[in-house]
Structure 1
Amino acid sequence: MLIFTQKKPPNPHAVVRLTLSLTAEERTRSRHRLQTEDGQVIFLRLPRGTVLRDGDLLVDETTDSLVRITAKPEPVLTVVAKTTIDLLKAAYHLGNRHVAVEITPTYLRLSPDPVLQAMLEQLGVEIKEEVSPFHPEVGAYGHHHGTSGLA
């Protein structure tokens, strides 16, 4: 059993024992029991509020073994707009609802939600249902709101 208690920044040259693919929500859990594909049990015991990013490394408390975190592809809604102002308006309305959102210069990404999808459609933006790694913004105070729509 591996118990990971420390997070280190990405290091492409690090020798890792295994790679752990987690969804955006799973990457916000500081206390979590996981099982690898081969049945190995892993515990996360990270400081409260820890948000894992794609490429982060975790250190096992007894063996100093490393595991690399990757963003697991998951169902998402990808929002694109004809104009920057339309994309900004969509971001504003999603932020007003405290929704976990990935923000880039060309698209927004969020977890599927039919109510939010209808709202975005009314704003006139294009929405694509995809399966992709999801990298939502960390909150302004260092935490991450859940992906359920409302915080």
Structure 2
Amino acid sequence: MLKVLERLAYPQPASLFLSLSFDLRQKSRLCTQLNDGTAVLLDLPRGQILRGGDCLKAEDGRIIEVQAALEPVTHVEIVEPLLLARVCYHLGNRHIALQITSQWLRYQPDHVLDDMLRHFGLNVRVIDAPFEPEGGAYQTGHHHHAH
């Protein structure tokens, strides 16, 4: 089993790839498989969220690139800035992980939140897409924006 103890500060060319959902990218200790089927144990410092594009170094020196896996997310297109701000305010009050751009937002599917946004007159749909929510004001580490 390949063992990973280190997250690199900067991207490096990778020879291996690891696709994980957002929930799994929040775990510091995880047994899983690389995209090629190789068994891997992540044993990383607590409190870090892995992001798509992050690089890890295995004990044998090989570099592994983390990829944000496709997963079900609620996707809502909102092009009017004030409405986007209002919706983000209401979702933020519920302390959910939220990915925000200037034209859409995403969160993990929740029928109660979906219904709330429909009351704003918005088209709410569940799609399969990478999920890279905001890290929060107090999160340490770096964040790659890939839109």
Q: CA RMSD in A?
A: 1.7
Query: Do the aligned partners of 2:3 and 2:43 also contact (CA within 8 Å) in 1?
Result: yes
Equivalent runs, 1:67-82 vs 2, <5 Å: 67-82=64-79
Amino acid in structure 1 at the alignment position of 2:118: E
**Which amino acid counterpart does residue 107 of structure 1 have in structure 2?**
W
After the TM superposition, list the runs of 4 or more consecutive aligned residues in structure 1 that deviate by more than 4 angstroms: none
Instruction: Give 1:147's aligned residue.
Output: none
My pick for the range that moved more, 133-142 or 75-84, is 75-84
Q: How far 1:127 sits from its partner (Å)?
A: 1.4
SS at 1:25 equivalent: helix
Task: Identify the residue that residue 106 of structure 1 maps to in structure 2.
Answer: 103
Letter in 1 for 2:70: P
Q: Which runs of 5+ in 1 are unaligned?
A: 144-151
**3-state SS of paired residue (2:138):** coil
2:3 is matched with 3
Task: State the distance in 1 between where 2:106 and 2:34 align.
Answer: 27
Please list, as runs of the form range in 1=range in 2, the aligned pairs for 1:1-151 lying within 5 A after superposition: 1-9=1-9, 11=11, 14=13, 16-36=14-34, 39-60=37-58, 62-142=59-139
Read off the aligned partner of 2:83 and give its amino acid letter.
Answer: D
One-letter amino acid of the structure 1 residue matched with residue 63 of structure 2: L
Gaps of 5+ in 2: 141-147
CA change 1:10–1:121 in 2 (3 A) is farther
Quick one: distance in 1 between partners of 2:70 and 2:9?
21
Q: Pick closer, same or farther for the CA change 1:56–1:82 going to 2, 3 Å.
A: closer
Does the CA contact (< 8 Å) of 1:8 and 1:56 recur in 2? yes
